Every structure is written in structure tokens, then in C-alpha cells.
């Protein structure tokens, strides 16, 4: 029977790498994106080139109406299937010092990074619980664990996901549904391209930024049966930070 996985924000960066990784494990990957169809199609093309299967699934992770419409439509088309792996990866940065942070900078980051995890997971986890199998993998950040100047909004959102991860893991454990989070450090993606790599490498013990594929390998492990006794964990991948 075909297995399905959904990756939010799957069009670029870490989301693209995870989508490709899950497809290589035999999953039919639903690549969620908000507006950049061209980049989402590149992810799908790469999956197909590697012999995998996938499809694009457009919706705004902040909008419960769009989420419900897109996922309900998918379920109607696949009545015998369910999405057994969910990777909550969609996220944005709107960095500013706290004193100058605007309402929009706060709300956009909280809505996209934190509220989206609640909305999408709430919709899908009932199917995992009913089937007594599922994997929820949340992409957080070392900022959510340690804090970072200029990222009060981002760190607060990621810290919120960490609390959600640990609590939901307790609720879902008896139904064989695991809930874990990956906390990347500095990874080479569009989200970090504006950062001063030369300066930041000085504080990273391994002396380099990570690669999206390195995060994807960990996500693949957590999605697999090999991680069946791991839940409620926040696993850092930051070169020693």
C-alpha cells in the first residue's frame, strides 16, 4: 500500500531536502507551498528524477480555511489512504531588536511558524491516532532553545513548538504516534543567506554552516521504523553549538 508524507514549506531549503529524502524512502510526498510554484515544481522534478513520487499541494499554513479545503480535497481523492508522516517545516524570519519590533513582525512570525503547526497537525493527527501509526516531525531552531538577539519573535515561536512537541508526544504515545523536533543551527538556505557566515563560523565549533541534506537525513531517521521508541525529543543539529 502506498505511503504518504506531507512536508510544509517543501519548495526550498530544508523542506526540499526532506521531501527528497522521504521520497527516497518510498513515500509519496505532498509538497506544500504557499505561492512559489516554480520552486515547488523544482522539488517535485528532483523527486521524479530520482525515481520517487510526489505531488504539489498549495495552501497557506496560516489559513485554516485553506488548510482544511486542500486536505479535505486530498482525502476525498484518496479515501483509502492517510498521511502517516507530517513534517512541519514552513517558517519565516522577521528579525528586529525587541524595542523596535512591530506588531506585524511579531504576528507574521508567530502565525507562520507556530500557529501553522497547531493547525496542520490538528487536522492530520486524528487519522494517525485512528490508524495507530504516525510520525510528526517539527523543525524548530537552536534559537528556540538558547535564544538569539534580534530574534525574540522567531525564538518565541520555535520555543512554543518545542513545548507543543513535548506535550503532544505524551498524548499520542499510546497510539504509536511519535512527535519529535529537530533544532537546526546555521544551515545554508535562503533563510540564512543574509547572515555573515565568516563571522558566525567563528562561534560554530565545527567551523561551518550545515547542509540541508544533513538535516534531511535526521528527519528520515525519525520518520522511519528505526525511531519507533523515540518521542518527545528535541534533537539539535548545529555543528556543536
pLDDT at res. 199 = 83
pLDDT beyond 80 at 190: no
pLDDT at res. 191 = 66
- Comparing C-alpha atoms, which of 186, 191, 190 is closest to residue 204? 186
pLDDT at res. 147 = 86
Measured between alpha carbons, how far is residue 67 from residues 22, 137, 208, 218 in Å? 22, 18, 37, 27
Q: What is the pTM assigned to this prediction?
A: 0.95
- Three-class DSSP category at 136: strand
- 154 as an active site residue: the answer is yes
Q: What residue spans define the domains of the chain?
A: 3-237
pLDDT at res. 194 = 72
| Lowest-pLDDT range of 27-41, 117-131, 186-200, 223-237 | 186-200
Are the CB atoms for 234 and 167 separated by under 8 Å? no
Each residue's pLDDT tens digit, 214-235:
999 999 999 999 999 999 999 9
Which of the residues 27, 33, 119, 154 is marked catalytic?
154
Each residue's pLDDT tens digit, 26-48:
999 999 999 999 999 999 999 99
Q: Please name the CATH architecture into which domain 3-237 falls.
A: 3-Layer(aba) Sandwich (3.40)
pLDDT at res. 100 = 97
* Distance, CA of 6 to CA of 128 (rounded, Å): 13
Amino acid at each position: 500500500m502506498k505511503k504518504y508524507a506531507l512536508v510544509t514549506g517543501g519548495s526550498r531549503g530544508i523542506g526540499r531536502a526532506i521531501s527528497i529524502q522521504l521520497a527516497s524512502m518510498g513515500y509519496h510526498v505532498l509538497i506544500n507551498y504557499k505561492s512559489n510554484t516554480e520552486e515547488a515544481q523544482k522539488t517535485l522534478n528532483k523527486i521524479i528524477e530520482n525515481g520517487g513520487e510526489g505531488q504539489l499541494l498549495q495552501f497557506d499554513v496560516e489559513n485554516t480555511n485553506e488548510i482544511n479545503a486542500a486536505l479535505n480535497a486530498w482525502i476525498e481523492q484518496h479515501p483509502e489512504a492517510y498521511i502517516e508522516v507530517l513534517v512541519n517545516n514552513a517558517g519565516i524570519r522577521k528579525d528586529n531588536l525587541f524595542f523596535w519590533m512591530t506588531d506585524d513582525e511579531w504576528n507574521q512570525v508567530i502565525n507562520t511558524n507556530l500557529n501553522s503547526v497547531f493547525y496542520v497537525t490538528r487536522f492530520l493527527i486524528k487519522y494517525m491516532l485512528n490508524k495507530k501509526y504516525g510520525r510528526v516531525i517539527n523543525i524548530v531552531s537552536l534559537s528556540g532553545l538558547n535564544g538569539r538577539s534580534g530574534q525574540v519573535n522567531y525564538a518565541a515561536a520555535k520555543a512554543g513548538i518545542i513545548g507543543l512537541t513535548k506535550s503532544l508526544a505524551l498524548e499520542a504515545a499510546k497510539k504509536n504516534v511519535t512527535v519529535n523536533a529537530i533544532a537546526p543551527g546555521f544551515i545554508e538556505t535562503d533563510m540564512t543567506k543574509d547572515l555573515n557566515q565568516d563571522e558566525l563560523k567563528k562561534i560554530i565549533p565545527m567551523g561551518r554552516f550545515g547542509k540541508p541534506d544533513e538535516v534531511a537525513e535526521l528527519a528520515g531517521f525519525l520518520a522511519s521504523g528505526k525511531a519507533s521508541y523515540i518521542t518527545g525529543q528535541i534533537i539539535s543539529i548545529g555543528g556543536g553549538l
